[in-house]
Amino acid sequence: MLLLRKEKTSWFVVFCDYMWTGFLNVKVLDASVPASRCVKRCEVDRRLGTILKEQEMASLPVPSVQAMVAATGGADVPPRYLRPAEAVAGDSEAHIPIIDYQRLLLELELDRHGEESARLHGACQDWGFFQLVNHSVPDDVVESMKANIQQFFQLPAETKKRFAQEEGQLEGYGQLFVVSDDQKLDWADMLFLYAQPPERRKTRFWPDQPATFRSTLDRYSGALKDVSDSLLATMAKNLGLKRETIAEKCTRGMQSFRMNYYPPCAQAEKVIGLSPHSDANLLTLVLQVNHVQGLQIKRNGSWLPVKPVPGAFIVNIGDMLEVFTNGRYRSIEHRAVVDPKEERLSVAAFHFPDMDAMIGPLEELTAHEDDAYKTLDLESFMKIFFATKLEGKSFLDRMKLN
């Protein structure tokens, strides 16, 4: 795998054998190769599929939790789902910042660093999470998205299997991040789909039931891409950069969706809906589909539940944005817990840079400071991320130089 590392004003081409314990066996090959040539060579190699040895990104197949609960009533929980009781503790509420999108847009249009921009900057630095209100996504699109997700998971098991993940595929109905036969499993089912750019879509995994699912997701996808782009433009300005600095890396940015179904569990205090992790991408926008809560963030060593504001998106910083900003903005560890009596549903939209982007600290932010993170191409970044189980911020820790 080819990595780029900058030290002061020189670029080093580094060859690195990836192992499960991290990035090892690093050797400087050439300190004189210009960065532009490194990136071009990296792009060519990626297109040929030679940067990274083939790794199985897809999850190992596991039973549907929803089907298991329907068949057994959910009274008995298989051992692979049981976690230590202290791992699912969490009481006090997290009052994460609330950002008004319309005020943010106005300040962006006026090229003014106002109160809302400052509030967003503080949220990205101190929390890594915020709730976005007045987001401009039409109510009918949001409500239709909610209804379609609920109706999909209500379909018979055999119908949902038509959209099941295939061997070696991330997309489809099933599960992610199951990389061994003995790891603990999440109490959840999910539908994972790519939506942007449009040519990346594999529509055989896009449900045709309910009948409006595909058209609704198409509209929802475009609307959220616009919101994400505006947020990234404001963040760039808040960092003292040109508004297009980050956005120009995302003109054909990848966008994926994870639609989550968390069945109720009689032993809810002993299972986890989604294991603790930070997101790999730039920005994640989460929509609460029904009234049941379950998102928790880790702050000062404690797990704090997040209470969604009606009509808001919950937005969080991803690992790539932490890397781009050289640690100024932080991705935060979070997880999902389940309810003992009611199902919970949500949908997360993940926004990424272009496929030919290099993931590393932005040069504009590191002219007078050392890089805190390695630089590597997006495809390698994603292959490594999906080939490991969710485990806190362990993946990002391996990206750090010190």
Find the CATH number of the domain harbouring 279.
Answer: 2.60.120.330
Q: What is the largest CA-CA distance in the chain?
A: 65
Using the Cα atoms of residue 286, residue 78, residue 168 and residue 173 in order, give the sign of their dihedral: negative
Same domain, 266 and 401: no
pLDDT > 90? residue 333: yes
Six-digit token string for 367: 């002219």
Asked whether residue 343 falls in the same domain as residue 373, the answer is no
Asked if the model's pLDDT at residue 14 lies above 60, the reply is no
Residue 110 lies in a domain: yes
320 is a domain residue? yes
Backbone angles phi, psi at 395, to 5 degrees: -65, -50
For residues 36 and 129, membership in a common domain is answered with no
Q: Is the pLDDT of residue 59 over 90?
A: no
Residue 314 belongs to a domain: yes
Its domain, for residue 381, covers: 1-54+365-402
pLDDT of 35 reads 44
Contact (Cβ atoms closer than 8 angstroms) between residue 333 and residue 352: no
Size of the chain in residues: 402
Give residue for tokens 């050392």: 370
Residues 6+ apart with CB under 8 A from 72: none
Is the Cα dihedral 159, 389, 82, 258 positive or negative? negative
Regarding whether 333 and 391 lie in a shared domain, the answer is: no
Phi-psi domain of 212 (left: phi exceeds 0; alpha: psi -120 through 50; beta: other): alpha
**Rounded to whole angstroms, what are the CA distances from 162 to 65, 66, 156, 308, 333?**
17, 16, 11, 33, 33
The mean pLDDT value of the chain amounts to: 84
Q: What band does 391 get if pLDDT is binned at 50, 70 and 90?
A: low
- On the question of pLDDT at 20 being above 70, the answer is no
Given 318, 334, 355, which residue is the final one in a domain? Answer: 355
Domain assignment present for residue 360? The answer is: no
**Antiparallel, parallel or unpaired: β 172-174 and 189-196:** antiparallel
Residues contacting 151, CB < 8 A, separation 6+: 209, 210, 213
261 bridge partner residues: 189, 345
Interval 333-339 mean pLDDT: 95
User: Does residue 73 share a domain with residue 43?
Assistant: no
Residue tagged 């404001």 (tokens): 234
**Lowest pLDDT segment from 171-175, 345-349, 380-384:** 380-384
Tell whether the model's pLDDT for residue 99 goes beyond 60. yes
- For the segment 303-316, the average pLDDT, to the nearest whole number, is 95
Q: With H, G, I as helix, E, B as strand and everything else as coil, classify residue 61.
A: coil
Contact 116, 132 (CB under 8 A): no
Task: Identify whether residues 227 and 320 lie together within a single domain.
Answer: yes
Q: What is the rounded CA–CA span in Å between residue 395 and residue 376?
A: 14
Q: Report the DSSP beta bridge partners of residue 24.
A: 17
Does residue 179 sit in the same domain as residue 148?
A: yes
Give the lowest-confidence range in 111-120, 123-132, 168-177, 251-260: 168-177
pLDDT at 151 over 50: yes
Is the pLDDT assigned to residue 401 strictly greater than 70? yes
Same domain, 258 and 394: no
* Class of residue 211 by CB neighbours under 10 A (exposed 0-12, middle 13-18, buried 19+): exposed
Residue 17's beta-bridge partner residues? 24
Domain contains 247: yes
Asked if 230 and 42 touch (Cβ cutoff 8 Å), the reply is no
> What is this structure's pTM?
0.84
Asked if residue 150 and residue 36 are part of one domain, the reply reads no
Nearest-Å Rg of the Cα atoms of the chain is 21
Number of domains in the chain: 2
- Judge whether 134 lies within some domain: yes
Tokens read off for 265: 């569990």
The answer on 160 and 48 residing in a single domain is no
Residues 246 and 181 in one domain: yes
Domain shared by 223 and 326, yes or no? yes
Q: Is residue 94 one of the residues assigned to a domain?
A: yes
| Within-domain flag for 290 | yes
